[in-house]
Amino acid sequence: MDLLASLRALIADLRREMWKKHRRHVPIGDLLSDRWELAQSYRFGEGTSCYDNVLVLGTVTVGKNCWIGPNVILDGSGGLSIGDHVDISAGVQIYTHSTVRRALSGGAEGIDHEPTRVGSRVYIGPQTVIEMGVTIGDDVVIGAMSLVNQDVPTGTKAWGLPARPRN
């Protein structure tokens, strides 16, 4: 019980410190870890930060000075590459696989994989889903709650269900 009481006191102190410094409440994992050190442990680029509750699967490469927000899914099972200076907002899901054929065939067929690529200087709005095989060019803005199921050319602003260029 002494250990449990000590852990609770430590967590309470860390929460107060986080609130005082940043005016935010975060999960315990983010209180105990450093976002930049976590990104380094994944071998992401210099200056990149990644919240503790980000799900990282397979082969994911991330460039320099990126911000990966909370509750993000980075599925690299088919190969995911992300350039430099990319902001990935809360709740974004980026996929490189699909289990549709497997499900519809009752397991007789396999899982599909295709690499997904995100260029540099890209902003991806909250709750966006990027499907497998999509390439997003450089200097792109993807609006919140978009479904990106086709390539987005360099210099484009896109949003919607499905996402469409809006320049």
What count of other Cβ atoms lies within 10 Å of the Cβ of residue 18? 15
Q: Is the pLDDT of residue 167 over 80?
A: no
pLDDT (tens digit, 9 = 90+) per residue, 6-31? 999 999 999 999 899 989 888 888 88
Q: Is the four-CA dihedral 162, 159, 156, 114 of positive or negative sign?
A: negative
* pLDDT at position 155: 98
* pLDDT at position 115: 98
Residue 26: CB partners within 8 Å, gap ≥ 6? 18, 51, 70
Q: Are 128 and 148 in contact (CB under 8 A)?
A: yes
pLDDT band at residue 100 under the 50/70/90 scheme: very high
Cα–Cα distance measured from residue 93 to residue 134, given in angstroms and rounded to the nearest whole number: 13
pTM value? 0.90
Tokens of 115: 């690499």
Catalytic residue check, 113: no
pLDDT band at residue 65 under the 50/70/90 scheme: very high
Q: Are 36 and 15 in contact (CB under 8 A)?
A: no
* pLDDT at position 30: 86
Give me the chain's average pLDDT, please. Answer: 96
> Which one of the listed residues 22, 85, 97, 113 is annotated catalytic?
97
* pLDDT at position 29: 86
Cα–Cα distance measured from residue 113 to residue 5, given in angstroms and rounded to the nearest whole number: 47
Residue 110: CB partners within 8 Å, gap ≥ 6? 101, 102
Q: Are 82 and 60 in contact (CB under 8 A)?
A: yes
Cα–Cα distance measured from residue 30 to residue 18, given in angstroms and rounded to the nearest whole number: 10
pLDDT (tens digit, 9 = 90+) per residue, 77-88? 999 999 999 999
Cα–Cα distance measured from residue 59 to residue 137, given in angstroms and rounded to the nearest whole number: 20
Cα–Cα distance measured from residue 29 to residue 26, given in angstroms and rounded to the nearest whole number: 8
